[in-house]
Structure 1
Amino acid sequence: MKTKILFALLLAGLTSYAQNTTDNYFKLTRSGFNAKNALETTAFVEKFFRVPGNAGFNASIYRVEKILKKAGFVLQKENELEAPLTYRIEKRPLKSNTWEPVNASITIAGETAPLISFKTNRNMIPINCGSTPKGGVTVEVVFVDKVTPSEIEKLDIKGKIIFAESHPARLLALATKAGAIGVLGYSMPKYTQPKVHQTSIQFGSMKANSEVWTLLLSYSAKERLKAACAKGLTKIKVDIETKIYPSQELTIVANLQGSVKPKERFVFSAHVQEPGANDNASGVGTLAEMARLTAELYKAKKIMPQRTLTFLWGDEITSTRRYITEDTARAKDIMWGMSLDMVGEDTKKTGGSFLIEKMPDPSAIWTRGEDKHTEWGAGEVAEKDLFPHYFNDFVFDICKTQGKFANWTVNYNPFEGGSDHTPFLQNKIPGLLMWHFTDVFYHTDNDRIDKVSPIEMKNIGISALTAAYTLISADENTASKTVTQIKSDALTRLKTEFELSKQAIAAGKEVANEKHILEVWCKWYVDALATVNQMPVKAETTRVGSAIKFAVNEIEKQTKLYLLELK
């Protein structure tokens, strides 16, 4: 009897370990993630021009609620501990009115077809733009070549429309002072290739409650109107209809409670606002399917999370920052954060690549070799801002595993900021961004559902969930394996940096500076390895601690050898 009990306990332990392995989570997520579901939600959300509080934003939130309820999440009444699967919708009055576009068109006088219209270019109306009188206005448009106060003061534009190759928001104050009734502008970054994609307009905004309206033009519309103005006096009919009204800001939060340390958690965030399909309807759709699958696996007892897994949808940065800062007790137990932003790109159409934006490591300061920033641009990172943690390499290696399995291209970029990973990092919480860039349709009205790949969303959903499932139930075996992985990644990185420094010295760079780069990388990885001690749910880290010491010794030893060779 005693032998049978011991055998049963041993078998239970082995079964538990098998369930907690990354390989097992990959099997569950690969077979369970429904790309069709993710695409259908994305298609629903992308129909709307989404601004916090407007009808499209709120419809998107309630669409997610419907998915959560059907999956088995129950509405939270008092607190998150009421049930294993809970959700809540947080409602807050907006300080300012919300806004939504309805319709717009510009027609050159004497022509029947519009120069541009809302039906084809919904980004032509900047956020906060008001309406024209019903039926529109027909007035003279004045092209301004040099946009300076002195040049505009020379022109008679009272009661007319200013047109310039500049963002209209920059002209608003000048136009108002000069008595213009409206502004037409054009502003497209080079990476959007406007001469190729001539109908694209990036969405923008303008000062609220302005007496002067503004509109944005595509490259083709700008060129046509510019040519018309060059021929002489040109009149255009402009018709704009928008809605501006008081509303509430909605955020939806869902939780799968951990069974051992429910206060400790992994938080996923996907922002709802912005009018694009990839940006960020794809994040909303992917995260909704991730939550649905999580509930399904939990109810089938295929996952048994020991820490809490949180899913959040709301206003970019604002909702995530508030989630972290409004409850300091909760914030101190957030162990990881991940932003899903622009995660559905059909890269053959957009030109972008899937990227993991790393937490600040030395590549954000010394960007060289295969490291490179995107067209978004580098952030200002100093050595004091570096954030050593295993999370960078842990998630990247999981994505590489999925990439190898699915023939999926996985890349990374040094830290740049600008999405929902930033509030985590600002509050000393490990945070990563999953995204795509550079995208020729970024922020444009050509970012529509035809540019979205359900396969891409599936690969990202699988990778993100597998990483989260592994971490929220991590044991000593997981941590020990991670130490080995981080050590290997560190030695690979140090070898790369050593070769780059040798080349730099040969090209005339100072030896001391090149040695310093290697020393900073060494320290970053040594400090990152120390954080693995926090990974296991149960603090039985003797074996992990020994593995860390061994790994640190190897890294420091190899760094010293490299430093001796740099002359």
Structure 2
Amino acid sequence: MKTKILFVLLFAGLGCYAQNSTDEYFKLTRAGFIEKNAYETTAFVEKYFRVPGNTGFNASIHYVENILKKAGFIEQRQNEFEAPLTYRIEKRAMKNSTWEPVDANIDIVGEKQPLISYKTNRNMIPINCGSTVAGGVTANVVYIANVLPAEIEKMDLKGKILFSENSPSRLLQIATKAGAIGVLGYSMPNYTQPEVHQTSIQFGSMKANSEVWTLLLSYAAKEKLKAACLKGETKLKVNIQTKIYTSEELTIVANVRGSVNPNERFVFSAHVQEPGANDNASGVGTLAEMARLTAALYQAKKISPKRTLTFLWGDEIVSTRRYITEDTTRAKGIMWGMSLDMVGEDTKKTGGSFLIEKMPDPSAIWTRGADKHTEWGAGDVTEKDLFPHYFNDFIFDICKTQGKFANWTVNYNPFEGGSDHTPFLQNKIPGLLMWHFTDVFYHTDNDRIDKVSPTEMKNVGISGLTAAYTLISADENTAIATVSQVKIDALTRLKTEFELSKKEIAKGKTITDEKHIIEVWAKWYTDALATINKMPVKSETTRVGSSIKFATNEIEKQTKVYLEELK
């Protein structure tokens, strides 16, 4: 009994100590993060249609470089730890040519106004699309609705333009074989609400070096062209101008050297490619301001990182995976990874909510209650794929604290995958995603700077940096406080799952299956608690291990109670 009381007192005192440490980081990041800087970087990057190696992608990398230079980062010459603040631009020859759009127009012959134009719809040109002859081409349109590929092959398409309410890439091979000169298509998922946002086009791609060009239509353009075709013969004048050329792929990496364990690090990643403002110019802009602020706080001696903090900008998934895999020694020291992808949304305009996508926990398998997948869809997760770790709850709790402070809505979703957090997880490194979804402008050419919120980027930047500063300098007190918080989160989750299981059993589900869900959650959390042992930069006593054991016992005890009650 005395031991239990002592532990309670220990948790109370040390939890307060660690919270005070995090509170200090919150004060620094809230005061120092300049949302105007993040917004201006986002505005610069979003001007370009960014593909690795093209003008806009490289301009964005060099824009970030200038921010780093002004902040005090020194260009790396020999190794990344030759100075406290370093950066480098990695250059790699590209196997394939890069691509960028220049201009495009589709005109219905006989009408004054264009059907659609690149000036208003830059996503109308799929990546890798070639140019028409100078001045464009004029040809008849053949409209097909739900015609089978075999029937299309029998049609007279030579010298004509094939128009379908399907993705043009699906018809490219058939159209080429049939002698068509081009394909017009339409492909918009329901969550983008195309009948409401009738000018939106989601960006796409096509096979490189194709003899036939393809273009994408908005809902409004598709309906107008369809109506014209149903009335009778329709001719279009199509003019496409793009650039295809050899180039280099660039990745920029900045480091703030840790003073005690420099080879252990927290890595932030924001991908540059994709043409949108929120996706992902906002990630680039937010991370650039996070790096600037970190350098300022370091130089003012307001923070003293014990582990290294790394910032990375590059090609989505490709650059992050390469950073992890091409240096095995470096990879062993990566303790946490965080992807910033679509972090600046004005949620009143986009409809998307700020989310933390969790590492695989049981909610990715049994998604019920308040847990919800986004329109992106569930990942293929089984029990062997679960990734127990305190990182899920630690980051969510930090974000909730900022949410309460700033009246900022914070949610989460079960693991789905598809961004820069996945290479971390694939290499057994804790990795999370900060993002927004479901967004009606996702991947569309209406994802422009007017949909970006500087305040949203500030909240994300504050939360990310506060969490990172806390972790890279964590001591035993931080770890013990985290044990206490994760234990609370675990008991809350178990209670929720218990109540859900009772309802499911009442509906006819088996007791065995419902017990199993609770058992898996309990094991996930007890295994997650065990990972806190590695949190402190230095651990000189057994206090962290003892606190983990105490919390584990409480969880196991409560789990047993719930399992008994389900009988």
**How far did residue 113 of structure 1 move?**
1.0
Matches within 5 A, 1:232-311: 232-311=232-311
Letter in 1 for 2:260: V
Match of 2:104 in 1: 104
1:504 aligns to what SS in structure 2?
A: helix
- Rounded to whole Å, the distance in 2 between the matches of 1:547 and 1:153 is 70
**How far did residue 125 of structure 1 move?**
0.1
8 Å contact kept, 2:282–2:452: yes
- Rounded to whole Å, the distance in 2 between the matches of 1:74 and 1:84 is 9
2:313 aligns to what SS in structure 1?
A: strand
- Rounded to whole Å, the distance in 2 between the matches of 1:39 and 1:541 is 45
Match of 2:10 in 1: none
**How far did residue 47 of structure 1 move?**
0.1
Match of 1:118 in 2: 118
- Rounded to whole Å, the distance in 2 between the matches of 1:500 and 1:112 is 62
- Rounded to whole Å, the distance in 2 between the matches of 1:541 and 1:468 is 24
2:23 aligns to what SS in structure 1?
A: helix
Match of 1:138 in 2: 138
**How far did residue 179 of structure 1 move?**
0.5
- Rounded to whole Å, the distance in 2 between the matches of 1:148 and 1:33 is 56
Matches within 5 A, 1:365-444: 365-444=365-444
**How far did residue 153 of structure 1 move?**
2.2
**How far did residue 145 of structure 1 move?**
1.1
Matches within 5 A, 1:150-549: 150-549=150-549
- Distance change (3 Å), C-alpha of 1:147 and 1:88: farther
8 Å contact kept, 2:18–2:477: no
Deviations 1:481-520 (A, max 9, x none): 0000000000000000000000000000011000000000
1:22 and 2:36 aligned: no
- Rounded to whole Å, the distance in 1 between the matches of 2:328 and 2:541 is 27
**How far did residue 541 of structure 1 move?**
4.5
Query: RMSD between aligned alpha carbons?
Result: 1.0
Letter in 1 for 2:498: F
8 Å contact kept, 1:108–1:235: yes
8 Å contact kept, 1:18–1:24: no
- Rounded to whole Å, the distance in 1 between the matches of 2:84 and 2:445 is 40
Deviations 1:310-335 (A, max 9, x none): 00000000000000000000001100
Match of 2:91 in 1: 91
- Distance change (3 Å), C-alpha of 1:331 and 1:457: same
With the length of structure 1 as denominator, give the TM-score of the two structures.
0.97
Q: Which moved more, 1:537-546 or 1:80-89?
A: 537-546
Letter in 2 for 1:337: G
- Rounded to whole Å, the distance in 1 between the matches of 2:154 and 2:76 is 63
1:284 aligns to what SS in structure 2?
A: helix
Match of 1:557 in 2: 557
- Rounded to whole Å, the distance in 2 between the matches of 1:531 and 1:18 is 18
Q: What count of residue pairs does the alignment treat as equivalent?
A: 552
- Rounded to whole Å, the distance in 1 between the matches of 2:251 and 2:153 is 46
- Rounded to whole Å, the distance in 2 between the matches of 1:549 and 1:558 is 14
- Rounded to whole Å, the distance in 1 between the matches of 2:395 and 2:492 is 17
8 Å contact kept, 1:533–1:541: no
8 Å contact kept, 2:18–2:478: no
Letter in 2 for 1:306: K
Deviations 1:174-195 (A, max 9, x none): 0001000000000000000000
With the length of structure 2 as denominator, give the TM-score of the two structures.
0.97
**How far did residue 77 of structure 1 move?**
0.2
1:377 aligns to what SS in structure 2?
A: coil
- Rounded to whole Å, the distance in 2 between the matches of 1:147 and 1:495 is 54
- Rounded to whole Å, the distance in 1 between the matches of 2:438 and 2:218 is 20
- Rounded to whole Å, the distance in 2 between the matches of 1:332 and 1:60 is 30
- Rounded to whole Å, the distance in 1 between the matches of 2:227 and 2:516 is 57
**How far did residue 19 of structure 1 move?**
11
8 Å contact kept, 1:419–1:433: yes
8 Å contact kept, 1:20–1:470: no
1:130 aligns to what SS in structure 2?
A: coil
- Rounded to whole Å, the distance in 2 between the matches of 1:465 and 1:213 is 45
- Rounded to whole Å, the distance in 2 between the matches of 1:270 and 1:112 is 43
Q: Which moved more, 1:102-111 or 1:148-157?
A: 148-157
Letter in 1 for 2:128: N
1:198 aligns to what SS in structure 2?
A: coil
Match of 2:61 in 1: 61
Letter in 2 for 1:369: G
8 Å contact kept, 2:102–2:241: yes
Letter in 2 for 1:122: R
1:188 aligns to what SS in structure 2?
A: coil
1:184 aligns to what SS in structure 2?
A: strand
**How far did residue 112 of structure 1 move?**
1.3
- Rounded to whole Å, the distance in 2 between the matches of 1:50 and 1:192 is 22
**How far did residue 146 of structure 1 move?**
2.0
Structure 1 unpaired stretches of 5+? 1-13
**How far did residue 154 of structure 1 move?**
2.9
1:80 aligns to what SS in structure 2?
A: coil
- Rounded to whole Å, the distance in 1 between the matches of 2:175 and 2:74 is 53
**How far did residue 149 of structure 1 move?**
1.8
**How far did residue 540 of structure 1 move?**
2.2
Deviations 1:71-108 (A, max 9, x none): 00000001011100000000000100000000000000
Letter in 1 for 2:120: T
- Rounded to whole Å, the distance in 2 between the matches of 1:211 and 1:96 is 17
8 Å contact kept, 2:18–2:481: no
- Rounded to whole Å, the distance in 2 between the matches of 1:265 and 1:146 is 54
Deviations 1:329-384 (A, max 9, x none): 00011000000000000000000000000000000000000001000000000000
Letter in 2 for 1:334: I
Match of 1:129 in 2: 129
Match of 1:41 in 2: 41
- Rounded to whole Å, the distance in 1 between the matches of 2:319 and 2:491 is 38
- Rounded to whole Å, the distance in 2 between the matches of 1:114 and 1:437 is 33
2:106 aligns to what SS in structure 1?
A: strand
- Distance change (3 Å), C-alpha of 1:19 and 1:516: closer
**How far did residue 18 of structure 1 move?**
8.3
- Rounded to whole Å, the distance in 1 between the matches of 2:132 and 2:539 is 65
- Rounded to whole Å, the distance in 1 between the matches of 2:244 and 2:20 is 51
Letter in 1 for 2:180: A
- Rounded to whole Å, the distance in 1 between the matches of 2:85 and 2:485 is 33
Identity %: 82
- Rounded to whole Å, the distance in 1 between the matches of 2:543 and 2:316 is 41
2:387 aligns to what SS in structure 1?
A: coil
- Rounded to whole Å, the distance in 2 between the matches of 1:148 and 1:279 is 35
Match of 1:11 in 2: none
- Distance change (3 Å), C-alpha of 1:541 and 1:111: farther
8 Å contact kept, 1:20–1:473: no
8 Å contact kept, 1:73–1:87: yes
